[in-house]
Amino acid sequence: MTQPPAPDPRLRRAVRSYLDHLTVERGLAVNTLRAYRRDLERYLAALARAGVGQLAEVSSGQVGDYLAELREGGGERPPLAAASAARAVSAVRGLHRFALREGWVGADAAAAVPPPTPPRRLPRALPVAQVEQLLAVAGVDGGPAGLRDRALLEFLYGSGARISEVVGADVDDLDLAEEVVTLRGKGGRARLVPLGGHAAAAVGAWLRDARPSLAATGRGGPALFLNARGGRLTRQGAWQILRRSAVRAGLPVTGDAAVSPHSLRHSYATHLLDGGADVRVVQELLGHSSVTTTQVYTLVTVERLREVYATSHPRAH
């Protein structure tokens, strides 16, 4: 069996420089960088098969054909999912744009390739009553683990934090007197977020009455939330805590309507907007770099407004 040709070292150096740029100057998250590296390795392999040794030799047609093959499949390779194909388009476009800025090429071969437009999916938000139902059963087992579970879910909904931000939080990030917490989001960007009275009370009870006993069993260090062995709680551990509470509350844990840490974040944003919060304030609270990312939540609230209008206005029908 013939081995596929290896990518030219010049191409590998170009990709390495681009990824270094994304790491140092753009501050992309580790998982995003990993995904980009895989996407670009796949692209280099395709260029090697086409006999291309450097980016200056790539034509617009080759870029377009490669990206079309990703979306449609080719040979023994199945098509990529829409989100994965969109990310691959971004990675390849970014590489060629970077090469032009660095002066390695005379033209951007990917400039004519349209940017990805993945279908917009509306976030799944829980009604306020279901969130209250979920929080009411959190930590009903009592003991240190019960206090932690209640504090964790109150923290998730009270701050709108990503699950990675919650498990990455340290005790020193909290100011319970002011009821605020410092969260570190994508790219290491820090933001100060109100925690809310219920969440602050639950976290305070966890810190006072339960965390010391778990901390004594392991090396959780400064971590805010600890597991049963005293180490920092993981994303998977936090998800399981939420899942147990959802099952107790009679809420779905599978399928499109499944309760997840991210659905609590969606609920947080939607409930703020329903309550009259300005979309730019919600943008800051969520840690979105662009307000267009936050505006997807306004579609959810518009749907609710339409429902109210349709059932209430005498001339709606």
Query: Which residues are part of the catalytic machinery?
Result: 162, 186, 262, 265, 288, 297
Distance CA 121, CA 144 (A): 38
Distance CA 6, CA 116 (A): 28
Among candidate residues 307, 306, 282, the one with its CA nearest the CA of residue 295? 282
Strand (E) or helix (H) holding 181: strand 180-184
**Helix 82-101 to helix 9-24 angle, to the nearest 10 degrees?**
100
Distance CA 152, CA 140 (A): 13
CB atoms within 10 A of CB 211: 23
CA dist 157 → 194, 243, 288 (Å): 11, 15, 17
Distance CA 127, CA 118 (A): 27
Residue 237, C-beta contacts closer than 8 angstroms, at least 6 positions apart: 167, 227
Q: Is 242 in contact with 249 (CB distance < 8 Å)? A: no
Q: Is 14 in contact with 8 (CB distance < 8 Å)? A: no
Q: Is 153 in contact with 242 (CB distance < 8 Å)? A: yes
In 3-state terms, the chain is what percent helix, strand and coil (to 5)? 60, 5, 35
Distance CA 274, CA 301 (A): 6
Q: Label residue 47 exposed, middle or buried (CB < 10 Å: 0-12, 13-18, 19+).
A: buried
Residue labelled with tokens 């998800």: 239
